[in-house]
Amino acid sequence: MTILSGKHILLGVTGSIAAYKAADLASKLTQQGALVDVILTSGAEKFVTALTFQSVTGRKAFVDADLWGGEAHILHVGLGHQADLLIIAPCTANTLAKIAHGLADNLLTITALAMNGSLLVAPAMDAGMYEHPATQENVRILQERSVRFAGPADGRMASGLSGKGRMLEPAEILGQARLALAKNGKLNGRRIIVTAGGTQEPIDPVRYITNRSSGKQGYALAQAALDAGAAVTLVTHPTGLATPIGADVVEVRTAQEMLEAVLKACETADGLIMAAAVADFRMKHVSEHKLKKRDGIPQIELSAAPDILGTVAQARGSLKKLKVVVGFAAESRDLEENAVAKLKSKQLNFIAANDISAQDAGFAVDSNRVTLLYADGRQDALPLMSKDQVAETIVARLTGFLE
Ligand code: CTP
């Protein structure tokens, strides 16, 4: 299940060379469980065919000829009425102008006018056309009507020119579509902080101590919170994972940097999920210069790194907005006993405990098996799930503390 599962998405494709990328977008939406109905304008049909889209969505793709077919009277309003979201990608300057001014001269623009749901536009045109005052005025008109814009991006265009006007990549449009669908979610108006990945404690300018955390569970939690409509601050070390679209990312390396970022974000946040595997130890003295072999094997002396959840627990009295704090406990033995001790000492609302000695759960793999332990003594042993499903469950439980 994703936020796109079972949703009716209308994808309008207009006459730009970026139309070929719309097939990838249609495929990605379909893979995430959406029912995707595609409408091509006659311009789009010059670049791609209805068959291209039918092949990836498994559903009929509509063209202007359908407007004059036997079912036209149903089609011209029917498609828009069913849809949760209309995405126009790519959207040419011409179609942008038509929808800004309420023109309805083809199946796509009629549908846009007859539509009840939200509209997401991904412009694609030459930079000069996008910057033209007429287009800029049309963008402003649509933004005032709460139409969402995905891009355009800066970069090289098919004409050889460079500038603002490139269609955003399908993955980014997909992320924007998720945000559009999430806007009425239960966490709408709330800010949730998620920490992810491990931390890196420097030894010298080239070496550091870290751990095996991949960041996957934390990134899945950030996406789940976004899907529930929250504003998300993702505090993470550079993991190389794709950033969930819409999250405010704060990159940190050390436990101290993570502590500072978390405390600052806690001032305005409603919830904190500490999924990061924070270092417990750091170097007592970080060498300013690279340690050299010729100087012999270094003796490393460690000291305690800050306990972030412990510090948040102490500050909780002054963090008026912060209503819910969730921790993780990665244990290789005495799972329940250790998790309960952490739940209490860190004053958490609940903790997600997992056995890291299991092969199919924990670090680096895509699945996880966690038990949720609550401050009031309740326990909830979840079965083996994907990290995405674990994230959705944790976010749903967190939402209960904010209602
Ligand atoms: N945590 C933290 N600051 C630290 C270490 C951990 O805030 N310096 C958080 C983790 O993000 C997690 C929870 O505390 O949500 C438990 O982390 P874990 O490493 O399992 O526990 P520790 O507190 O490090 O305790 P122990 O070393 O006994 O396992």
pLDDT tens readout for residues 338-372 = 999 999 999 999 999 988 777 666 566 778 889 99
Whole-model pTM over 0.75? yes
pLDDT digit string (tens) for 30-63? Answer: 999 999 999 999 999 999 999 999 999 999 999 9
For domain 191-402, give its CATH number from 3.90.1580.10, 3.40.50.10300, 3.30.1380.10, 3.40.50.300: 3.40.50.10300
2 CA distance to ligand 1 middle (Å):
30
Query: Residue range 217-226: average pLDDT?
Result: 97
CB atoms within 10 A of CB 56: 20
Beta strands 85-91 and 61-62 are unpaired
Out of 106, 211, 338, 349, pick the active-site residue.
Answer: 211
- For residue 389, pLDDT beyond 90: yes
CA distance to 80, 81, 128, 240, 257, per residue, from 113 (Å): 8, 10, 27, 41, 50
pLDDT digit string (tens) for 185-196? Answer: 999 999 999 999
Range name among 110-114, 255-259, 359-363 with the lowest pLDDT average: 359-363
Tell me which CATH homologous superfamily contains domain 8-181. Flavin prenyltransferase-like (3.40.50.1950)
| Mean pLDDT over the full length of the chain | 93
Query: Residue range 93-120: average pLDDT?
Result: 94
pLDDT reported for residue 364:
63
Pocket test for ligand 1, best of 212, 235, 278 (most atoms within 8 A of CB): 278
Catalytic residue flag (residue 116): no
For residue 197, give the nearest of 248, 265, 244, 252 by alpha carbon.
252
pLDDT reported for residue 73:
64
pLDDT reported for residue 357:
74
Tokens (6 digits) for 220: 């899945």
pLDDT reported for residue 212:
87
pLDDT digit string (tens) for 117-160? Answer: 899 999 999 988 999 999 999 999 999 999 999 999 998 877 77
3-state secondary structure of 185: coil
Confidence of residue 334 (pLDDT cuts 50, 70, 90): confident
pLDDT reported for residue 81:
85
Element (H, E) at 94: helix 93-101
pLDDT reported for residue 104:
93
- For residue 245, pLDDT beyond 70: yes
pLDDT digit string (tens) for 169-215? Answer: 999 999 999 999 999 899 999 999 999 999 999 999 999 999 988 99
CA distance to 88, 165, 296, 356, per residue, from 150 (Å): 10, 11, 56, 40
Cβ 59 vs Cβ 37: under 8 Å: yes
Q: Which has more confidence, 332 or 143? A: 143
pLDDT reported for residue 361:
62
- For residue 217, pLDDT beyond 70: yes
139 CA distance to ligand 1 middle (Å):
48
Peptide bond into 133 cis (omega under 30): no
Give CATH 3.40.50.1950 domain extents, the chain: 8-181
What residues flank ligand 1, with Cβ below 6 Å?
255, 274, 276, 278, 280, 305, 307-309, 327-330, 342
- Nearest ligand 1 atom to the CA of 308 is 7
Question: Rounded to an integer, what distance in angstroms lies between the CA atom of residue 398 and that of residue 373?
Answer: 12
Confidence of residue 77 (pLDDT cuts 50, 70, 90): confident
3-state secondary structure of 140: helix
Listing DSSP states for 44-85 in one string gives HHHHS-HHHHHHHHSSPEE-HHHHTSTTHHHHHHHHHHH-SE
Residues sharing a CB contact under 8 Å with residue 61, sequence separation 6 or more, in sequence order: 37, 38, 39, 40, 50, 51, 52, 53, 54
Give CATH 3.40.50.10300 domain extents, the chain: 191-402
Burial of 74 (0-12, 13-18, 19+ CB in 10 A): exposed
- For residue 12, pLDDT beyond 80: yes
- Taking 3-state DSSP, the helix, strand and coil percentages for the chain, each rounded to the nearest 5, stand at 40, 25, 40
